[in-house]
C-alpha cells in the first residue's frame, strides 16, 4: 500500500476506490471488493458452534464474534451479519444496517486480512440502538477488523 488512504476519512470515497485499484489490486490477492455467496456464513451448525464457543472483539457499535473453523470449499473467511430485532423493529431499518455493514466489510477486509491468518468463521453484530451513517460505520469497521487481526496474530 503506497498511500494508506483508507484510514483518512476526510478523503472522498470515490478517490479512495480509484487509489485502491491503481495501487493495490495487482499485488494483494485479498484486495478484492467482492463479498459473494461463497463468502457468506450460511451453515446452521457452524453458526451455532460460533455462538456457543466463539470469542469476540468490540468496536462500538459493532461486535465481531470469531472462531477458528475450516471450510470444505477452502474459503478462508466466511462472514455473517446480524442486527437485533429488539432494537430495530422495522425490517427496513434492519436491512439498511445490514447492507451498510456488508458494504463496509467488503471495502475494508482487504486492508486487514492476509494469508498468514488461519481460517475463521465470523459474525458481525450491530449492538447500537440508533441508525448510523456510512462514514462512521466505515470507521468502526476499520477499527474492528484491526483489533481482530491484532488479537488473533
Partner RNA sequence: UAAGUAUGUCGCCUUAUCGCUGUUCAGUUUUGAAUGGAGGAAAGUCCGAACACCAAAGUGCAAUCAUAGUGGUUAACAGCCAUCCACCGAAAGGUGAGGAAAAGUGCAACAGAAAGAAUGUACAGGUUAAGCUGUAGUGAAAUCAGGUAAACUCUAUGUGGUGCAAUGUCAUGUAUACCAGCGUUUGAGUGUGCACGCGCAAUGCUGGAGGGUAGGCAGCUAAAGUUUAUUAGUAAUAAUGAACGCAGAUAAAUGAUAAGGAGUAAUGGUUUUCCAUUAUUACAGAAUUCGGCUUAUAGACAUACUUAAUAA
The residues binding RNA (CB under 7 A) are 12-14, 17-18, 21, 32-37, 40-45, 47-48, 80-82, 90-93, 95-96, 98-100, 103, 106-107, 133-134
Smallest separation (angstroms) from RNA to the CB of 33: 4
Question: Of 130 and 133, which CB lies nearer to RNA in the complex structure?
Answer: 133
DSSP 6: G
Q: Closer CB to RNA, residue 42 or residue 150?
A: 42
Return the number of the residue (20 or 57) whose C-beta is nearest RNA.
20
What is the number of alpha carbons within 13 Å of residue 55 lying toward its C-beta?
A: 8
DSSP line for 83-147: E-TTT--SHHHHHHHHHHHHHHHHHHHHHH--TTS--EEEEEEE--SS---HHHHHHHHHHHHHH
Q: Which residue, 6 or 47, is less far from RNA as judged by CB?
A: 47
CB of 147 to RNA, least distance (A): 22
Distance CA 21, CA 99 (A): 23
Shortest spacing between CB 72 and RNA, in angstroms: 10
Cis peptide before 134 (omega within 30 of 0): no
* Minimum CB–partner distance for residue 150 and RNA (Å): 26
Amino acid at each position: 500500500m503506497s498511500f494508506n488512504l483508507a484510514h483518512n476519512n476526510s478523503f472522498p470515497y470515490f478517490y479512495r476506490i480509484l487509489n485502491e485499484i491503481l495501487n493495490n489490486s495487482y499485488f494483494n490477492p485479498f484486495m478484492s471488493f467482492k463479498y459473494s455467496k461463497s463468502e457468506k456464513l450460511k451453515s446452521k451448525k457452524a453458526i451455532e458452534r460460533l455462538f456457543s464457543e466463539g470469542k469476540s472483539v468490540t468496536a462500538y457499535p459493532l461486535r465481531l464474534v470469531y472462531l477458528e473453523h475450516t471450510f470444505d470449499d477452502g474459503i478462508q473467511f466466511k462472514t455473517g451479519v446480524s442486527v437485533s430485532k429488539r432494537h430495530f423493529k422495522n425490517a427496513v431499518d434492519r436491512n439498511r444496517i445490514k447492507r451498510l455493514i456488508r458494504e463496509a466489510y467488503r471495502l475494508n477486509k482487504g486492508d486487514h486480512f492476509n494469508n498468514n491468518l488461519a481460517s475463521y468463521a465470523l459474525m458481525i453484530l450491530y449492538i447500537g440502538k440508533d441508525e448510523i451513517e456510512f462514514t462512521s460505520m466505515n470507521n468502526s469497521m476499520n477499527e474492528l477488523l484491526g483489533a481482530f487481526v491484532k488479537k488473533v496474530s
